[in-house]
Amino acid sequence: MFNASIGGRLLLPKPSAAVCNGKTYDAQACTIAKMQWINSTWRGDQLGAMQNHNWENSSCSISTNNTACNQGSVPVYGVRAASPEHVQETVRFATANNLRLVIKSTGHDYLGRSTAAGSLLLWLHQMKTMTLIPRYSSCSGETISNAARIDAGVQWGEAYRWLNEYNLTAIGGASATVGVAGGYLQGGGHSPLSRAGVQWGEVYRWLNEYNLTAIGGASATVGVAGGYLQGGGHSPLSRWKGLAADQVLEYDVVTADGQRQTVNVCNNGDLFWALNGGGGGTYAIVLSVVLKTFPTPSVAVATYEITAPNTDRYRKLVEDCIRFVSTVIDAGWSGYFNLVDMKFSGIFHVPNGNLVAVTDALTEFATRNPDLDFGKTSFFSFSSFYDYFMFALEPSNPTGFNVLLSSRLIPETTVRNLPEKVADAFFKARGQSGNGSILLGHIVAGGQVSHISNTNNSVNPGWRTALLHMVYSQGWLDTTPEDIQEFLATEVTRRATILDELSTDSQLSCYSNEADPNEVNWQKNFFGSQAIYNQLKAIKDRYDPLGLFVCKHCVGSDDWTSDLNCVQWGEAYRWLNEYNLTAIGGASATVGVAGGYVQGGGHSPLSRWKGLAADQVLEYDVVTADGQRQTVNVCNNGDLFWALNGGGGGTYAIVLSVVLKTFPTPSVAVATYEITAPNTARYRKLVEDCIRFVSTVIDAGWSGYFSMADMVFRGIFHVPNGDLAAVTNALREFAARNPDLDFGKTLFFSFSSFYDYFMFALEPSNPTGFNVLLSSRLIPETTVRNLPEKVADAFFKARGQSGNGSVLLGHIVAGGQVSHISNTNNSVNPGWRTALLHMVYSQGWLDTTPEDIQQFLATEVTRRATILDELSTNSQLSCYTNEADPNEVNWQTNFFGSQAIYNQLKAIKDKYDPLGLFVCKNCVGSDDWTSDLNYSPIRHLIADLEQTREQLDDEQQAKSELQKTITKLTPEVQQWRARFESEGVARSAEFKEAK
């Protein structure tokens, strides 16, 4: 078992507020959670917690007991890894079982990349070894003093403290809870061997013991070896020594194949380049990192808060501050500031700086602005970076809030040469305390960051020309209405666009670790250019070809849907629309593209135009029951290709992907209508008139959907590349012939693309979450055209009743091109090739409906289908398997067209899945099983026969081996026999002579 292979370290994560909600309520644990809610160290120690609560679950509140509290975005299982072997086993298990794997050290991630709904969480927080290497010999022959190897669980606060004991530092983050070896460095990182669970607070503390430090985060709980480094990693010390990613000497990683690898400039150099700035969570799992360290500097510090009396003076203050920054950065100043309301506040620090010089410069600035309030200005001197970090930086990093960020890198030339323009943009983008927003400025670029090339790292080139990193931060309460939250999210995006005007060229740049999750051009803006992104993507594909490591806005995630799950038609339509293309797909956005829809045949709003979805398939990529990956098309595994195209989903193989035809998107002419009759007799006549009307317009390419319930006949017609005037005239003429009917809700539209039509008219009509049963029948085109009275009678009898939650639905999705395609390469029910209408009776019920009533309604679903059976032109009834009655009696023939077709599909099923691994209700082969699909007499008989055959084979093998032994020993036995006989004769003679 997997859990045994990792030493019983499989856990069940819960949202951090779950202990205060619903069935998981625990009074004592809830009290602790409320006390520790904004404590980043506590949050880092919780398996299911993220540093920002909005990436967990909006239904679980720390302040309100909500019975609806659910798992949300928190993974369903987690592995508390304590060794590289645990990591390797987890990677192999996730790969073998096609699980989504997410990687977390402390959950300090503003894009929510450390968590995902329905996933397996690999938690590296326990991996906290730190080792100082007095003389590190790099693979290139360089010897580096006091390098540090840090595990992935170490945080920067720990690293700084440890380095300080050696009078060293490292370039790390400004948060103690940022992981050292994670996305901070891999995003660029603002250096010790650090394993994946180590946080910067731990590293700083450890290094401090050696009077050392590293270039790390400004928050103690940022993991050292994770996303911080891999995102590049800006640091309070980055202007002094470069970004965190500039300090990396080596990684120890586990790649997607479960192999442990050493990664540096000599070994797997392309992966080393990608890990150093190309973003975390996507190329490999970092176990530990080797970083440069430095003797810890003393730090001269000034804190300030300046208040302006009005907006005009505040605008002038912002410009004055920009000019002031431009004058002091050459003296090594760094720091942080924020703009909110009428306040400009922050902190300046100068590594190895002169406190008197800092004091004089800021005092002089205050003297030049006597009308402003400088009342909270203070000056400090610290003997080590770790002391400064713990006193001034770490206390300013509370967590546990809901927050979204957007960011931009501001070029140094713009700051120096265009202070008015910079001030205008900052003034417009400033925050408001009343709505929980703030504009943050990080003076962490320029200096040494600008003097280091990207030879050995993939840091966004925008860092090399920037001086300021600006972040707009927006928070909100759990009780904030959803529409307000959506507005605030758009504001986060909009404020970044205000800063875009400060870019010196067409390429915008931002810091991927503190970016907007809704950033539109994230590939370019996060990584610097499309060319760099493409290079990173090629490396990703080399080391993780199956996409095991996937996270939002990480390299390679654009191969996936927005929720990083299977592709759904809504997403496919949207993506294709960007290329002015469309595909023949479902009428609901959440129908999966490559699953049961296409394998069941797949009718579409566009099927009369181009055929069924199964008619568009060119190739499948599948995993068969023996665990083998197969390419399936007309040339390879042709019988399986035939079966997958219409023979029903979930039974032959697992489809990983599908190749489909696409088409230039059509414009669409549309008419919606709702017609009400005054009584049943007139309604019966209306139904017949509508049937006759459909027969007259289908040759003009009309398709659509209608419904019948009570006295109302409503629906929608659409015509790909149709003439709106023709549609309008035809329907108005029909209305004119029926003046006694109410056509009050008839509307006409024209859409330039199918996607626009789909999103406006089709998708909004697909609510879900109800209890429902369906039954369906395919109605032959000859019957509809030639016997409209008979069709109307059947539809009238089978119509729905709104009072009991039933409706009769008509889909004008057959005929046209569907009738002109043969079943040579697919197993679509032949009834589709002769049909015009697909009719569905739908019955819903409430959870509170008594069971006997539910049973009666289920029999009604079956009975209504039998009313439509009289419309079949031969003895073979046909229905659509994906929208059929689960209680259909003759499902083998009705679902698939005939017993002969079913038998052919069954033979293919037995060929590719002989032991029945893939079984589902009313799927091919399920008739070998009991009705609850828990036992298969035939499969058990096959298994018993197989076991008997193996036993017989074993016995035959034993007999054969025995015969070989006898044959081999026979000459030797004969020799011994002859020897005994000869010796016996001689001894007998001797005996006689002696006697």
Tell which wins on pLDDT, 474 or 96: 474
Are 947 and 978 contained in the same domain?
yes
pLDDT of 960 above 80: no
What CATH code is carried by the domain that includes residue 175?
Answer: 3.30.465
- Half-sphere exposure in the Cβ direction for 537 (13 Å, CA): 14
Q: What's the rounded Cα separation, in Å, for the pair 602 and 994? A: 105
Q: Is residue 904 part of a domain?
A: yes
Q: Is residue 486 part of a domain?
A: no
Pair type for strands 248-254 and 285-291: antiparallel
State pTM to two decimals: 0.65
Tell which wins on pLDDT, 953 or 819: 819
- Give the Å distances, CA to CA, from 328 to 157, 174, 360, 939: 28, 21, 12, 80
Are 291 and 326 contained in the same domain?
no
Q: What's the rounded Cα separation, in Å, for the pair 526 and 523? A: 6
By CB atoms closer than 10 A (0-12, 13-18, 19+), residue 131 is middle
Residue pair 178/216 in contact by the 8 Å Cβ criterion: yes
**Sign of the four-CA dihedral 84, 90, 96, 101:** negative
> Poorest-confidence range of 347-356, 618-627, 959-968?
959-968
pLDDT of 177 above 70: no
Domain boundary residue among 920, 935, 950?
935
Are 357 and 215 contained in the same domain?
no
Written as one letter, the residue type at 709 is A
Provide the token pair at 209: 């013991």
By CB atoms closer than 10 A (0-12, 13-18, 19+), residue 910 is middle
Q: How many residues does the chain have?
A: 995
Whole-number pLDDT of residue 817: 97
Q: What would the mean pLDDT of 670-683 be, rounded to a whole number?
A: 95
CA angle 469–472–478, rounded 5-degree value? 140
Whole-number pLDDT of residue 178: 45
Are 201 and 303 contained in the same domain?
no
Q: Is residue 105 part of a domain?
A: yes
Q: What's the rounded Cα separation, in Å, for the pair 267 and 255? A: 14
Q: What's the rounded Cα separation, in Å, for the pair 923 and 140? A: 61
Are 586 and 643 contained in the same domain?
yes
- What is the DSSP annotation of 960-994? HHHHHHHHHHHHHHHHHHHHHHHHHHHHHHHHHHH
Domain count, the chain: 6
Domain boundary residue among 624, 644, 664?
664
Q: Is residue 432 part of a domain?
A: no
Q: How far apart are the two ends of the chain, measured CA to CA in Å?
A: 78
Whole-number pLDDT of residue 499: 95
pLDDT of 194 above 50: no
- Give the Å distances, CA to CA, from 311 to 316, 427, 776: 9, 9, 68
Q: What's the rounded Cα separation, in Å, for the pair 512 and 123? A: 22
Q: Is residue 338 part of a domain?
A: yes
Are 256 and 335 contained in the same domain?
no
Q: Which residue has the tokens 């508390």?
A: 80
pLDDT of 189 above 50: no
Rounded to 10 deg, the angle between the 851-869 and 788-798 helix axes is 180
Whole-number pLDDT of residue 180: 47
Q: What's the rounded Cα separation, in Å, for the pair 543 and 257? A: 8
Are 617 and 676 contained in the same domain?
no
Cα pseudo-dihedral 213, 214, 220, 225, rounded to 10: -140
pLDDT digits (tens, 9 = 90+) for 859-914: 999 999 999 999 987 767 899 999 999 999 999 999 999 999 999 999 999 999 99
DSSP-assigned beta bridge partners for residue 169: 213, 294
Residue pair 645/617 in contact by the 8 Å Cβ criterion: yes
What CATH code is carried by the domain that includes residue 7?
Answer: 3.30.43.10
pLDDT of 490 above 90: yes
Tell which wins on pLDDT, 398 or 210: 210
Among the listed residues 809, 811, 883, 801, the one whose alpha carbon sits nearest the alpha carbon of residue 845: 801
pLDDT digits (tens, 9 = 90+) for 73-130: 788 888 888 888 998 998 899 888 878 888 877 665 666 666 767 788 888 887 888 8
Are 701 and 806 contained in the same domain?
yes
Q: What's the rounded Cα separation, in Å, for the pair 272 and 249? A: 9
Are 840 and 719 contained in the same domain?
yes
Q: What's the rounded Cα separation, in Å, for the pair 728 and 738? A: 16
Whole-number pLDDT of residue 225: 82
Tell which wins on pLDDT, 909 or 21: 909
Provide the token pair at 367: 């003297």
DSSP-assigned beta bridge partners for residue 895: none
pLDDT digits (tens, 9 = 90+) for 694-744: 999 999 999 999 999 999 999 999 999 999 999 999 999 999 999 999 887
Q: What's the rounded Cα separation, in Å, for the pair 906 and 912? A: 10
Q: What would the mean pLDDT of 496-501 be, rounded to a whole number?
A: 94
- Give the Å distances, CA to CA, from 854 to 767, 842, 848, 863, 937: 21, 13, 10, 14, 31
Written as one letter, the residue type at 514 is E
Q: What's the rounded Cα separation, in Å, for the pair 160 and 992? A: 104
Q: What's the rounded Cα separation, in Å, for the pair 322 and 313? A: 14
pLDDT digits (tens, 9 = 90+) for 941-956: 555 556 666 666 666 7
Ranked by mean pLDDT, the top range of 38-52, 503-517, 555-569, 844-858 is: 844-858
Q: What's the rounded Cα separation, in Å, for the pair 594 and 623? A: 13
Q: Is residue 552 part of a domain?
A: no
Q: Is 46 helix (H, G, I), strand (E, B) or coil?
A: coil
Written as one letter, the residue type at 492 is V
Whole-number pLDDT of residue 100: 81
- CA–centroid distance for 559 within its chain: 10
Whole-number pLDDT of residue 199: 63
Boundaries of domain holding 345: 299-383
> Poorest-confidence range of 84-93, 204-213, 301-310?
204-213
Q: What's the rounded Cα separation, in Å, for the pair 265 and 278? A: 15
Tell which wins on pLDDT, 128 or 585: 585
Q: Which residue has the tokens 């507005």?
A: 487
Q: Is residue 902 part of a domain?
A: yes
Are 771 and 873 contained in the same domain?
yes
- Give the Å distances, CA to CA, from 269 to 195, 544, 679: 20, 16, 79
Q: What is the band of 938 on the pLDDT scale with cuts at 50, 70, 90?
A: low
pLDDT digits (tens, 9 = 90+) for 26-40: 888 888 888 877 776
What CATH code is carried by the domain that includes residue 303?
Answer: 3.30.70.1030
Are 807 and 918 contained in the same domain?
yes
Beta strands, E only, 18-167: 77-80, 101-104, 120-123, 130-137, 143-155, 164-165
- CA–centroid distance for 460 within its chain: 24
Q: What's the rounded Cα separation, in Å, for the pair 428 and 425? A: 5
pLDDT digits (tens, 9 = 90+) for 595-642: 899 999 999 999 999 999 999 999 999 999 988 889 999 999 999 999
Q: What would the mean pLDDT of 554-578 be, rounded to a whole number?
A: 79
- In whole angstroms, how large is the CA radius of gyration of the chain? 36
Tell which wins on pLDDT, 23 or 643: 643
3-state per-residue secondary structure call for 719-731: EECCCHHHHHHHH
pLDDT of 462 above 60: yes
pLDDT of 203 above 50: yes
Q: Which residue has the tokens 């250096």?
A: 191
What CATH code is carried by the domain that includes residue 610?
Answer: 3.30.465.10
Q: What's the rounded Cα separation, in Å, for the pair 486 and 324? A: 37
- Half-sphere exposure in the Cβ direction for 832 (13 Å, CA): 29
Q: Which residue has the tokens 């990693």?
A: 233
Tell which wins on pLDDT, 943 or 667: 667
Residue 114: partners with Cβ closer than 8 Å, 6 or more residues away: 50, 55, 102, 103, 104, 105, 107, 108, 227, 281
Among the listed residues 5, 32, 10, the one whose alpha carbon sits nearest the alpha carbon of residue 19: 32
Provide the token pair at 746: 């008839």
CA angle 242–247–253, rounded 5-degree value? 140
Are 22 and 48 contained in the same domain?
yes
Q: What would the mean pLDDT of 128-139 be, rounded to a whole number?
A: 86
Q: What would the mean pLDDT of 284-300 be, rounded to a whole number?
A: 93
Residue pair 372/481 in contact by the 8 Å Cβ criterion: no
Written as one letter, the residue type at 12 is L
Whole-number pLDDT of residue 48: 66
Whole-number pLDDT of residue 208: 83
Domain boundary residue among 607, 631, 664?
664
> Poorest-confidence range of 33-42, 637-646, 650-659?
33-42
Q: Is residue 240 part of a domain?
A: yes
Q: What's the rounded Cα separation, in Å, for the pair 543 and 404? A: 31
